[in-house]
Amino acid sequence: MSLVNESPFFTVVIPTRNRPVEFAAALNSVLSQTCNDLEVIVVNDGTNAANREAYNKIEAHSSHNVSFINLIERTRGHGHCFARNEGVVASKGHFICFLDDDDVWIDEQFLSRAKTQIKNCNADLFIANQQAITHDGKEIKNVWVEDIPSTFSPSDPRLKQEVFEINRSELLKSKGFAHQNTCIVEKQLFESVGGMDENMRYEPDRDIYWRLLDNAAVILYDTNTVALHNVPNKDNSKNASTQTNRLEKLLFQLRTANKGLLFAKNEDIFDSCKHFKLYTLKHIATELVQKSKYKKAVLYAKQALAIKFSIKWFLWTQLIKIKALGSEK
């Protein structure tokens, strides 16, 4: 379908692959927004023959502001980040939004509210919240940035506001990070930080989140829950995050931390990446111990000690060193 000629305020990019039913729900949730100053770009990342007809039907019945980019089929696809970047390249909107094909927006006022606040404050980054639900219907709390208001002083006047300006350091006090389903970023800012890292197959949202925070001029925080995120079922082999084993995930996280440490412009971003690297190294060491790979565990445990010394971790490392020596006999 052809796009409208005028540049819309928003471009919503939806990457999808082999999930036509879930994708249809995601697309409908975007088209249900009260704001119509938008275009939707669907990037079909090489859907297989079994699902192609279903996608073709959706495309044939799509409205004028929905465009499809159909990539060639590959065994594991081109990757979520590649698909997102392709959507942004084709976009005409001033601000970019993303939505995973197995998630939905649940707040029909999301974009209308964001547009008003972004224009009023001249913001280049808008962050909201989402709800995380497991495949069996259980809610997981404090995954993203919903804990932000709890980090404020009770007397902070912003607590009475639905949307308010927030700085980078305040956002970094959260225990989580903002998922791309709930982030709206100025296209110019997105491009200036290099877009999505196409080498990332796990948690690319954390990587782009840190880079956006490191470079954004004006950030707005929306207290509303605007999206529903379906936590990947570990038994579902079709999902990218479930195709990656635990150690591979930790290696991707370690890469994210190292990348942030190398390129962070601001001290608070650097500190967050350093803390995350410590956390990741300890988890890698623990995972290796569980696999009885003690020599490798010692290597990562020592790196964690170099970042932050603690008696408890030092003693744990010494114990693993003894086990490593014993395993060599």
- Mean pLDDT, residues 108-117 taken together: 99
pLDDT band at 233 (very low <50, low <70, confident <90, very high): confident
Each residue of 206-222: pLDDT tens digit?
999 999 999 999 999 99
| Least confidently predicted of 114-118, 225-229, 234-238, 256-260 | 234-238
What are 45-49's contacts with CB under 8 Å, separation 24+?
Answer: 45/15, 45/16, 45/17, 45/71, 45/77, 45/78, 45/79, 45/80, 45/82, 45/83, 46/17, 46/71, 46/72, 46/73, 46/74, 46/77, 46/78, 47/16, 47/17, 47/18, 47/20, 47/73, 48/18, 48/73
Delineate the domains of the chain, giving CATH numbers in brackets.
10-238 (3.90.550.10), 258-327 (no CATH)
pLDDT band at residue 238 using 50, 70 and 90 as cut-offs = low
- Looking at residue 142, what is its pLDDT? 82
What is the reported pLDDT for 1? 36
Q: How confident is the model at residue 75 (pLDDT cuts 50, 70, 90)?
A: confident
Tell me, yes or no, if the pTM score tops 0.75: yes
